[in-house]
Every structure is written in C-alpha cells, then in structure tokens.
Amino acid sequence: MDVHRPPRRPHAWWLFLAVSQSIVFAIWWRYGWRIGLPVLLLSHLPFVWGTLWPRSRLFAPVLARLPTDEPCVWLTIDDGPSDDTPALLDMLEAHGAKATFFLVGERAAARPQLVREIARRGHGIGNHSATHPSAWFWALGPRRMRAEIERCQAVLQELTDVTPRWFRAVVGMANPFVSAPLRDLSLARAAWSTRGFDAVDGDPAAIVARIERGLSPGAIVLLHEGARHGRNVETIGLLLQRLDALGYRTVLPEELDFTSMLVGAATERRPV
C-alpha cells in the first residue's frame, strides 16, 4: 500500500462551499436572519474543523498512522535543525533508529551542514514551512501559503539534492490553501497518532508516558527539537530506551512501502 498520497483535487472544497452557501442563502431568503444566521454559522463548522484538526482529511489526504500490524513506529522530529541536532543524530545511531526531520527552511539555510548530515545518516527530511509562523499558519492566504511551502522545498532540495516527499503543517493546522502547492510539489501531508507535548513540557518522564499511551503498531510519533526548556534530547533518549524495552523498531514510510512491495512480489512468485 502506497502511503504517500499528495492531493489530487486541491480545489474540490470550492464545490462544497458553493453548494452549502447557496443553501444558506435560500434559507435566509425564505425564513429571515433568525434562522439564516445560525444556519450560516453551522455551515462554516466543517471548514473550522478541517483547518484546526490535524488529522482532518477534508481538504487533502493526511497520514496519521502507518498501515502495518508490525511493532514499528515512525519517529518524526519537528522544528529543526537546531543545537540539538548533532546529539539527536548520535543518539538515533546508537539505538539503530531512523527518524524523519521536518525542517524549517530558514533554519536549514542557516545550518546547512546539519541538514546534509541528517541526509547522510539516512534519515528522512520533510518540509515544515519556510519560516514556521506558528501563530498564523492556519490563517495564511493562498499566496503566502504557497511561498512558505515552495521556499522550504527549494532550500532543502538545494542543500541535499533530495526532494522531500512529506509535509507537516505548522502546529498541525492547515487551511484549504495548503492542498494546491502540495499537489504541485508532489508532497503528502503527515500528521501523527501520538504526542507528548515536548515542545512546551520539559519533563521527559511525563512526555514519554503520554507518548506510550498512544503507542501501537504503525504509530506516528510527534517529537520536537530545540525547545526553550532544553530537554528535547533527554526526552528522545528516554523514548528510544522505552521503545527498545517494548520491542518497537523505527521505520520510515518509504521503507514500509518497499517492504510491502517485496512481500507482494514474493507472494506472486510463490508456487501453488
């Protein structure tokens, strides 16, 4: 099963908007504002949910879990590169673990050697916007949204000669204008299935306990680097120890696709 699914019809939401607002107009015209106004507000709730809920597929496909029954997880590390990156790379290597680093374009441009080292060590590199406008990413218009995604993609490609295949929305919130640039760049959107709020919480034990409650085969784990509390490296180290103890291995989605292809080919060749 190919889990990499860029948007195919990025403007389909316009049809839903046109139909829903036509119905609202008809109700307002027939029954007046006392009925029309509540209906208008209700008609916008799907768009609010689609924007603010990180796993919403209203505007585009979103991967929130790997389709596998094997005890494996996809580690994703947001907001780098940072001062934490070298230690994280060494720690992942010591545990034989792989992760995808969702990098911010301007931070990558400022630390190109770290970006190249991430790629050299065989980890994934994902697009996490050019400037990481955490307060307003969900509300960006089409031009600024496209610029955020395209500029980050260009920086990462130039630094690594690798084309990122995955995009993660800032704070996980993505409005309808995300889909068109993702389609044009063949980017698929990744969310998560478990997180520990390590961007704001500096207690490694509490963070790992939260993540563990959401662990299951195919879980996508949301992690961060470079947080102000300075304990991301310690937290990820503790998580790697816990994953080892629980018998979980780490996998990149590209590896999972490749493994599935090999299994399918072997099944086709097996004599009956």
Q: For the domain 62-258, what is the CATH superfamily, name and number?
A: Glycoside hydrolase/deacetylase (3.20.20.370)
pTM above 0.75, yes or no: yes
- 78 is annotated as an active-site residue: yes
Among the options 78, 79, 84, 198, which is catalytic?
Answer: 78
Q: What's the farthest any 2 CA atoms get from each other in the chain?
A: 71
DSSP per-residue letters across 86-109: HHHHHHHHHTT--EEEEE-HHHHH
- 83 is annotated as an active-site residue: no
Among the options 123, 128, 132, 224, which is catalytic?
Answer: 224
Q: What pLDDT tens digit does each residue of the chain (272 aa) get?
A: 689 999 998 888 878 888 888 998 999 999 998 999 988 999 889 889 999 999 999 898 999 999 999 999 999 999 999 999 999 999 999 999 999 999 999 999 999 999 999 999 999 999 999 999 999 999 999 999 999 999 999 999 999 999 999 999 999 999 999 999 999 999 999 999 999 999 999 999 999 999 999 999 999 999 999 999 999 999 999 999 999 999 999 999 988 754 443 444 344 444 43
Q: How many CB atoms lie within 10 A of CB 261?
A: 12
The structure tokens listed for 74 are 């996809």
